[in-house]
């Protein structure tokens, strides 16, 4: 019986791999990491430093709030220089690189040091191996918590120690932020200092690849997500369906977890770790200039260990089970046709939480397929940035 399940799961995994894999490549960085703001080292992320970079208004006393930028999966905060400068006109602004991302990734950090020492290029093909410790998002949450703590201390040191703190979080950064604020809301004073969160296409759902890839992959992704959702967690369903769902999940989840773990082992992961496919860039932005930058940016990690991908799926499931308890005011922006973080995740989150706070707002971008809203073409990009700024100002006016 066990062998039959393995025989069923292996073709499924093979189909997923050929669907999502691109050509194996071995990238090199030739230009320095795109720094912005002032850098402060606030600790270590494994072998790499944890750097918080900050920007202030031209007149620091004009800073009315403190805003922390949180980037998405496999990218880095260096990409957000223009966004940081926009918000720093009125706010004390900061950003950092997640665990295993950007300069928090030891391979990328060493590459940055090599370029600074005069090297023409540095090999970053193994940057994805920093994900080997990622069975879930807890290392990212811990890095986020340390960065948030350091940021609040810097915010308070600027003058008024009671200035409100806001977070602007994109994609996987939205899931890390939301799950951190839920998990640690009763254990420290940090979540209480956060008076609002802006979610940009948050990862509250699993991806739905477009086109022919979706015909193959989406049924498999949905089956895996369904199994994770029901695994040892009965729902309000008729007894026959409950028994079926539990039996299905008890078989499917351990098999897939085991396969994804095995294919993340040394010796196998170089063959079974998918490369980010070309379609992802096409759905990030409508800007040809930004697409060219994305393709040329090798500070972005292009591969993802399968155990990390499976761990993110489990994190989405865990968050959805408790998302109705999310207590902090938010502004949620999402695209109707985004295949990377589909709209149904944001809509179900809003359905469970919108009524909790009068300040909660949502903005659905009808007909839009793109995932990275702060990198869209003008005039929509500036319109969205301005709407975020206005929402933050409205929350400041209602604070006691």
For 387-398, write each residue's pLDDT tens digit.
999 999 999 876
Report the CATH fold assignment for 28-209+277-395: Rossmann fold (3.40.50)
Whole-angstrom CA distances from 264 to 186, 206, 258, 305, 350 are 35, 20, 10, 6, 35
pLDDT below 50 — which residues of the chain?
A: 1-23
- pLDDT value at residue 373: 97
- pLDDT value at residue 216: 83
- pLDDT value at residue 6: 41
Contact call for residues 316 and 345 (beta carbons, < 8 A): yes
Contact call for residues 150 and 48 (beta carbons, < 8 A): no
- Give the pairing type, strands 66-70 and 165-170: parallel
> Distance between CA atoms of 233 and 242, rounded to whole angstroms?
10
- pLDDT value at residue 289: 96
The reported pTM is 0.91
CA dihedral 17→20→25→29, nearest 10 degrees, is -140
* Tens-place pLDDT, residues 333-372: 999 999 999 999 999 999 999 999 999 999 999 999 999 9
In DSSP terms, 44 is beta-bridged to: 49
E strand intervals along the chain:
28-29, 38-45, 48-55, 66-70, 92-96, 122-123, 165-170, 194-200, 330-335, 361-365
Q: What is the DSSP string of 291-342?
A: HHHHHH-TTS--B--HHHHHHHHHHHHHHHHHGGG--S-EEEEEETT-SSS-
- pLDDT value at residue 146: 95
CATH code 3.40.50.1820 region(s) in the chain: 28-209+277-395
- pLDDT value at residue 7: 40
Whole-angstrom CA distances from 41 to 51, 54, 71, 225 are 4, 11, 18, 38
Contact call for residues 65 and 91 (beta carbons, < 8 A): yes
């Amino acid at each position: 019986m066990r062998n039959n399940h393995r025989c069923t799961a292996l073709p499924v995994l093979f189909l997923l791999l050929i669907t999502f894999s691109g050509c194996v490549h071995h990238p090199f960085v030739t230009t320095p990491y795109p720094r912005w703001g002032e850098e402060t080292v606030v600790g270590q992320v494994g072998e790499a430093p944890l750097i918080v970079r900050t920007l202030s208004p031209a007149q620091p006393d004009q800073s009315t709030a403190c805003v922390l930028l949180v980037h998405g999966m496999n990218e880095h905060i260096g990409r957000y220089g223009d966004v940081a400068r926009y918000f720093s006109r009125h706010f004390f602004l900061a950003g950092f690189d997640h665990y295993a991302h950007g300069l928090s990734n030891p391979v990328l950090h060493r590459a940055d040091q090599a370029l600074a020492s005069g090297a023409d290029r540095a090999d970053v093909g193994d940057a994805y191996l920093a994900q080997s410790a990622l069975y879930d998002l807890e290392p990212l949450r811990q890095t986020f918590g340390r960065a948030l703590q350091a940021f609040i201390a810097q915010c308070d040191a600027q003058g008024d120690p009671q200035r409100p703190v806001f977070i602007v979080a994109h994609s996987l950064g939205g899931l890390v932020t939301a799950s951190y604020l839920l998990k640690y809301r009763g254990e420290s004073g940090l979540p209480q200092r956060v008076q609002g969160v802006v979610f940009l296409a948050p990862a509250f759902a699993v991806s739905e690849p477009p086109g022919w890839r979706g015909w193959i992959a989406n049924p498999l992704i949905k089956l895996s997500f369904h199994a994770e959702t029901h695994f040892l967690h009965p729902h309000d369903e008729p007894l026959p369906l409950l028994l079926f769902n539990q039996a299905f999940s008890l078989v499917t989840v351990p098999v897939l977890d085991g396969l994804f773990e095995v294919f993340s082992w040394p010796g196998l992961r170089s063959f079974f770790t998918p490369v980010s496919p070309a379609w992802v860039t096409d759905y990030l932005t409508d800007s040809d200039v930004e697409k060219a930058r994305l393709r040329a940016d090798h500070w972005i990690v292009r591969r993802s260990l399968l155990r990390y991908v499976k761990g993110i799926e489990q994190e989405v499931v865990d968050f959805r089970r408790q998302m109705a308890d999310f207590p902090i005011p938010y502004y949620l922006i999402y695209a109707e046709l985004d295949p990377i973080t589909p709209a149904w995740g944001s809509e179900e989150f809003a359905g469970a939480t919108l009524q909790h706070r009068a300040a909660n707002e949502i903005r659905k971008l009808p007909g839009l397929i793109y995932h990275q809203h702060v990198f869209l073409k003008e005039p929509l990009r500036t319109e969205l940035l301005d709407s975020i700024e206005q929402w933050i100002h409205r929350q400041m006016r209602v604070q006691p």
